[in-house]
Amino acid sequence: MDIISPVEESSVYSQRLNLSPDLQVDMLRLDLLHPIISGNKWYKLMYNLEACRKASFSSVLSFGGAYSNHLIALAASAKEFGMPALGVVRGREMAQNLNPVLAACRDYGMDLVFWDRADYARKNDPEVLAGLHETYPAAFIIPEGGANAEGCRGAGMITKHISGTYDYCVLSVGTGTTLAGLRNTLPISTFILGMAPMKGGGYLKESVRGFLDPDADSGWDITDRFHEGGFGKSNSHLSDYMDLFYRENHIRLDRVYTAKMMLGVEVLIREAYFPPGSRILCIHTGGLTGN
């Protein structure tokens, strides 16, 4: 399977460099990997699909909200693997008039089942999982967002695209799996800052710790200062910033994750959070299908 196209690092803030004259701000363009299986989602899926095939499961099953980047990435990559896929979607009402993301999942051949929100909230309960195994005995079950050990190990492979040495690595977090994979593989001298795009995102620190190697629990943090109203919420401030960022850098950001991250990076630069001379790598985790 060859879906990995070259990843570029580009210097951002070129026109407003007066903002950060002595900072180096680069971006790792994981959004360029693939039009649909973009960003970190492919890395979180690769070892999952491999594990699924090795253990001779004949299909793959996972979970997501109605605009899930994970489900659409799974639908597209399972198709490339020639493996049937099943998506459990949050919200029964989503079955009527499929939105473009779910319609694309179905076009890739994914079967969709719709759970009401109360059932969906219990999707990680052992009982519920046992029930799923009974109903779909041939299916390999991947948690929502690819948040398992295979997902974390795959996310660690992102490091192989990082050639320079950085003092900071900044990325958006959803489950924290990607952050953990990077913490396990990047030099500990690179501080990793996760930007949570939801209110109260501090709870993610526990999930990250669950995936960290024993010697990797230092040199990282998560802030939820830049949630801009909460998960999936947007506002004119954020859209204006996305437009400005595109005009300046010709790089599109997604409104759920990466726009909030870059907005946060800019605020932190203004606050002189990064000491002079810092080299900062921002990871563009993709997500543009959501736009």
The residues of the shown chain that bind ligand PLP, judged by CB under 6 A, are: 39-41, 69-70, 145, 172-179, 254, 257-258, 285-287
The CA R_g of the chain, rounded to the nearest whole Å, is: 19
Q: What is the 3-state secondary structure (H, E, C) of 83-113?
A: CCEEEEEECHHHHCCCCHHHHHHHHCCCEEE
Cβ of residue 21: shortest distance to ligand PLP, in angstroms? 29
Closer by beta carbon to ligand PLP, 141 or else 180: 180
The set of residues, in sequence order, having a beta carbon less than 8 Å from that of 49 and lying 6+ positions away, is 60, 77, 78, 81, 83
Nearest approach, Cβ of residue 64 and ligand PLP (Å): 10
Q: How far is the CB of 70 from ligand PLP (least distance, A)?
A: 6
Nearer residue to ligand PLP within complex by CB, 110 or 284 = 284
Q: Are 228 and 235 in contact (CB under 8 A)?
A: yes
Between 174 and 264, name the residue whose CB sits nearer to ligand PLP: 174
d(CA 217, CA 180): 9
Contact 85, 59 (CB under 8 A): yes
Toward ligand PLP, which CB reaches closer, 176 or 264?
Answer: 176
Note whether 167 and 191 are within 8 A (CB). yes
User: Closest residue (Cβ) to ligand PLP?
Assistant: 287
Give least dist CB 173 to ligand PLP, A: 4
